[in-house]
Amino acid sequence: MRDSSLSLPSLATTVTGTGPALLLAHGATGSIEGNFAPVLPALAAAHTVVAPDYPGSGRTPAADAPWDLDALTDAVVDSAVRRGVERFALLGFSLGTQVAVRAAVRHPERVTALVLTAGFARPDDHLLGLLPGWRAEEPPALRPHLDLIPFLDVTADLSEVGVPTLVIATTADSLVLPEGSHALAAGIRGARYTEIDSDHVVMVERPQEWLEQVLGFLRSLPSSSSDGEAGKAGKVREGE
């Protein structure tokens, strides 16, 4: 466990759309805009989308000290709760799949469903081997995202996930190998599994195919699993 005694800054968050709530968790060194921009309008057409940026990403300031997965998870969940969104499906991409799984176990009263894209239960040798070169290319504010990765492991959490879950593997992924998604799907009881022939950021590379899978899954949820805070139609609300 890493030292997370220093609180993370409040995450800059945008809330847009109307309908059942959907909280987004983006990837390491990414941002909401960088990871989800092509698909946000379609997601917000049917959902109240809560979209926070991690420390150092978007408009969120960098943290002053290293942080761990629990601290990041709590900050992402808090970004919704602070804006009156009490219950939500959680859609995680890459590092965000770790956040999503941990949130489902740590905050089960809030998480109603999971969508896990291009994720992993723990980093494999392939991903760990890419970290030094990746870190050297990033600005200092984003390097803590990568420093977190070697410490990640939600393997023990998977059996505790008790909400409907969709796992999407990216079969041409050069960063996070599809075996990571296989492990997530195998560990979560009743998880649905599907594949898209795409590199890592499938929402940019294959947005329509990804949306078809995600929106179809979310529409299929029973009302008890798809409830959430409805937003005002079409209005974008900026957070701090």
Structure confidence by residue, pLDDT tens digits, 60-110 = 999 988 899 999 999 999 999 999 999 999 999 999 999 999 999 999 999
How far, in Å, CA of 56 to CA of 227, rounded? 31
3-state secondary structure of 233: coil
- List the alpha helices (DSSP H) in the chain: 32-36, 40-46, 69-81, 95-106, 125-137, 143-148, 179-187, 202-205, 207-220, 223-226
Between the two ends of the chain, the Cα-to-Cα distance in Å is 29
Residue 95, number of CB atoms within 10 A of its CB: 27
Q: What is the mean pLDDT of residues 164-175?
A: 98
Band the pLDDT of 2: cuts 50, 70, 90: very low
Supply the pLDDT for residue 202.
98
Q: What residue segments make up the domains of the chain, in order of their start?
A: 13-219
Residue 218 and residue 46 in contact, taking contact as beta carbons nearer than 8 Å: yes
How far, in Å, CA of 83 to CA of 169, rounded? 31
Does the 13-219 domain belong in CATH 3.40.50.1700?
no
Structure confidence by residue, pLDDT tens digits, 132-153 = 999 999 999 999 999 999 999 9
How far, in Å, CA of 155 to CA of 172, rounded? 23
